[in-house]
Amino acid sequence: MNYTTQMDAAKKGIITKEMEVVSRKENIDIEILRERVAKGQIVIPANKNHKSLDAEGVGKGLKTKINVNLGISRDCPNVDTELDKVKTALDMKVEAIMDLSSFGKTEEFRKRLINMSTAMIGTVPVYDAVGFYDKELKDITEKEFLDVVRKHGEDGVDFITIHAGMNRETAKVFKKNERITNIVSRGGSLLYAWMELNNKENPFYEYFDELLEICQEYDMTISLGDALRPGSIEDGTDGPQIAELMVLGELTKRAWEKNVQIIIEGPGHIQLNEIEANVLLEKKLCYEAPFYVLGPIVTDIAPGYDHITSAIGGAIAASHGVDFLCYVTPAEHLRLPTLEDMKEGIIASKIAAHAGDIAKGVPGAKEWDLKMSRARQKLDWEGMFKLALDEEKARRYRAESNPEHEDSCTMCGKMCSMRNMNRVMEGKDINILRAED
């Protein structure tokens, strides 16, 4: 039986090879997986032309996935530098990489990235349009925007961020509601500017059916971008954000009718106490489509530490049902991330995702922590290193400060609670001041 997309196959009762891979990775019954893909509750972004892909599932009942943003820019156009980051990100086992390239040899970088990447690849085609056509934003036509999407599909991109929810009506809502930070989405601001300069409808909204046909042809998943996401906690959960979310729900149903998989993108900068409500709204208004958030960043005052502010928000968001976290690095709001910035962002996001998985009872999540606790109780340093999220850093910290006694560390020495409790439980004496026998 033939099928066009993963969703089409799922609706027809077909088990694809990608579904089999995800079922094994997640230890989920394959029929439950297929049913959730058919309903749009789980997506498996897998472009037919991405031959090196090791498929991942995103959505209900699965582990929270993380995405890493990379790409060349006008100020940092070195392709090889960014590819070094790609190699490291893949070594760190990220599930997704988004190419946000906006200048220079974008096609070269994208093709090399897709050829080498086992992780799913995402892009934002509107970023690429200006450089691809070498035209000012105002002069790009509706057809040209769609042609860039088709090019990304041909190249093998698995999911694309499309800011189709900001149409002329939601733009009116934005204009009527004063914001501190206006539109902070790069893609959203470009499309808003194009609409204003040309006095036209958002081309991705107006020609959404044509967009769906392209995505259906290559089995590209659409990540419906939140053009009006808040860029400060003051703007969080406001009228423009919610107005756009309602449109995203309508577009989700239209996409599912064409068997195109959908992810919903969310905020952004959100107060801690508003995260749960934001997840509930997305799941209700967008019919349980997988939810993908940037952070969320829970305070605006920590440039240089936004990997921490976003990890706090990401853990809470994941615990309430968010399926996909976009990493944030210490360089957020400041510069293009370095390799070390990227590593810090990945680890912070992985911690947040795992903490969320424990809270929402993802099978196998808590067992990892149980193994670490048992290794700590036994003072099994080698076991702890192997279980650590960042094994290299754990080993380095231990090696940099050697204790007098191997069954302790330089923090507590012979006052180590684990050491002394083990000795007491075994009926042995505790010799904190005396020399060892």
Q: Let me know whether 351 and 369 are in one domain.
A: no
Name residues whose C-beta falls within 8 Å of residue 375's C-beta, 6 or more positions apart in sequence.
383, 384, 387
Residue 187 assigned as binding residue: yes
215 is in an annotated binding site: no
Residue 436: is its pLDDT beyond 70? no
The token pair that represents 109 in the structure block: 């970088």
Q: What pLDDT was estimated at residue 134? A: 85
98 is in an annotated binding site: yes
156 pLDDT higher than 70: yes
Does a structural domain hold residue 178? yes
Residue 180 sits in the same domain as residue 233: yes
Whole-number Cα distances in Å, 232 to 59, 68, 264, 297, 335: 27, 22, 20, 9, 18
Structural domain boundaries enclosing 293: 6-359
322-336 pLDDT, tens digit each: 999 999 999 999 999
Q: Residues 428, 436: contact at Cβ < 8 Å?
A: no
| Nearest one of 14, 45, 41 to 30, comparing CA atoms | 14
Structure tokens at 299: 């305070």
Summarised one tens digit per residue, pLDDT across range 83-124 is 999 999 999 999 999 999 888 888 999 999 999 999 999 999
Given a contact cutoff of 8 angstroms between Cβ atoms, the answer to whether 160 and 146 are in contact is no
Residue 227 annotated in ligand binding: yes
Q: Are residues 343 and 370 in the same domain?
A: no
Q: Is 29 annotated as a binding residue?
A: no
pLDDT tens readout for residues 297-324: 999 999 999 999 999 999 999 999 999 9
Asked if residue 253 is part of any domain, the answer here is yes
- Give the dihedral of Cα atoms 100, 153, 203, 105; nearest 10 deg: 40
Q: Which residue has the tokens 């049902």?
A: 321
Single residue among 359, 389, 404 that ends a domain in this structure:
359
Query: According to the annotation, is 218 in a ligand binding site?
Result: no
Contacts of residue 391, defined as CB under 8 A and 6 or more positions apart, other chains included, come to 385
User: Is 127 labelled as part of a ligand binding site?
Assistant: yes
Is 217 contained in some domain?
A: yes
> Is 185 marked as binding a ligand?
yes
Paired residues of 326 in beta bridges: 67, 294
**CATH (domain of 105):** 3.20.20.540
412 is an annotated ligand-binding site residue: yes
333 and 390 housed in the same domain: no
For residues 155 and 52, give the distance between their C-alpha atoms in angstroms, rounded to a whole number.
Answer: 12
Question: How sure is the predictor about 179, in pLDDT bands with cuts at 50, 70 and 90?
Answer: very high
Residues 290 and 396 in one domain: no
Tell me 74's DSSP state: S
On whether 229 is known to bind a ligand per the annotation, the reply is yes
Residues 284 and 376 in one domain: no
pLDDT over 70 (residue 148): yes
Q: Which residue has the tokens 């012979």?
A: 414
Same domain, 90 and 229: yes
69 is in an annotated binding site: yes
Judgement on whether residues 22 and 73 belong to the same structural domain of the protein: yes
Least confident of 49-63, 307-321, 418-432: 418-432
Q: Does residue 189 have a known ligand-binding role?
A: no
* Residue 1 located in a structural domain: no
Q: Is 404 annotated as a binding residue?
A: no
Let me know whether 306 and 339 are in one domain: yes
The verdict on 385 and 311 lying in the same domain is no
Q: Does any domain span residue 67?
A: yes
Tally of structural domains, the chain = 2
Is 436 a member of any domain?
Answer: no
Q: What is the mean pLDDT of residues 394-415?
A: 88
User: Do residue 231 and residue 91 come from a single domain?
Assistant: yes
405 carries a ligand binding annotation: no
For residue 121, give every residue at least 6 positions away whose Cβ sits within 8 Å of its Cβ, in sequence order, or none: 47, 50, 96, 97, 98, 99, 110, 113, 114, 156, 157, 158, 159
> How far is residue 212's CA from residue 37's CA, in Å, rounded to a whole number?
17
Q: Are residues 95 and 214 in the same domain?
A: yes
- How far, in Å, CA of 311 to CA of 184, rounded? 20
Residue 172 belongs to a domain: yes
Residue 437: pLDDT over 70: no
68-91 residue pLDDT tens: 999 988 888 888 999 999 999 999
**Residue 228 annotated as binding?**
yes
pTM for the whole structure:
0.94
Classify residue 32: in a domain, yes or no.
yes
163 is annotated as contributing to ligand binding: yes
